[in-house]
A and B are shown apart, each in its own frame.
Chain A
Amino acid sequence: MDVYSPPVSPALYSQLAVVLLAIGVVFSGKFFVYEVSQSKSRRSITQELYLAATASVFLGIGIFFLALTVGIPV
């Protein structure tokens, strides 16, 4: 039996939360700018999904590490 070590070192949780959330906010900003600046007919669904996926990966993991930093039991 080995001592369990978590997949990511707990010392990095707060930095990870800040960095990932910052990147996530930038991508979601780009997504919403794209949504409002292009008219309905000229919007590309692939471009929209690409921005949405990137933003949600960063925001999701960022929020998860934020929860860990503040001590919400996960």
Chain B
Amino acid sequence: MDDHRAVRTLYSGSSDLFNMNEATIEDTIPKDRPLIAPLAPMGVLRAEYENGNQVFVQQIDWLVNNGYKGIRRTRGDGDCFYRSLAFAYVERIMNSEDVDLNVMRAISTLEATPQMLLEVGFQELVFEDFLDIFKDLITRIVQPEPGRSRLTGRVLFDTFNNAEESNSIVMYLRLLTSAQIRLAPEDFAPFLFHPEIGEPMETVSFCENFVEAVGKEADHVQMTALTRALKINVNVAYLDGHARSDGVVTVDFVKFDNATEPEEPISLLYRPGHYDILDSKDQEDLTSLDPLW
């Protein structure tokens, strides 16, 4: 559990981060935001902090200087980690060089997952539609269905803003995360704590209440489990508003390296209680065939 150790170390150096988790960013984000917003320059986020904590501003500048020029924001509904990850996952396959190979790889990973869900007791009828929606979306990158266009940035964006499709994918990822945790209890059990009261929890109860339940925010356990199940690398930049003891401002990344082949990680931005997507571009690709922005 290297991922956990990394986070523990990060936390132990900054007990305030725990306190910040109490009053989460999420509470201040309006609920009527789109599920997934268009890509925006980091300056938009920076402007929101300019009159507040200057370390946040410096951390945002650090991200820009290190190549993270854009942010794609998600609605603060507790599903933001799963939704951000799903969007970035499909987008990365869509924009990859060897699209055919990556689509095939993703589909074969996903096709192995229903067995995991069945094994831990989920009924096929409650998850098969969710998985179909997710697989169809990825398949459309290379193989448009009759009467439907090939997957483009526009279609991806619209799909993730359609509540039914978007929530179906989020739900599938939740169930997959839960199955991964339940199938390897020895890996996760020592890290299952009630997110509010901090008491240790039983695996099943943790999964039911904090993984499978809609709107329950993901933490390191869920992130580790999901990146393992999907066999991907994810880097999470922690924007915590704290300078190092020597006064230098940087941004710590927590890395979840679970890809079986070498690949660039998906980058997410974490502010206490909320996840967004980081991007090296600062606006949507205008050369796309169906410009919408």
A binds B: no
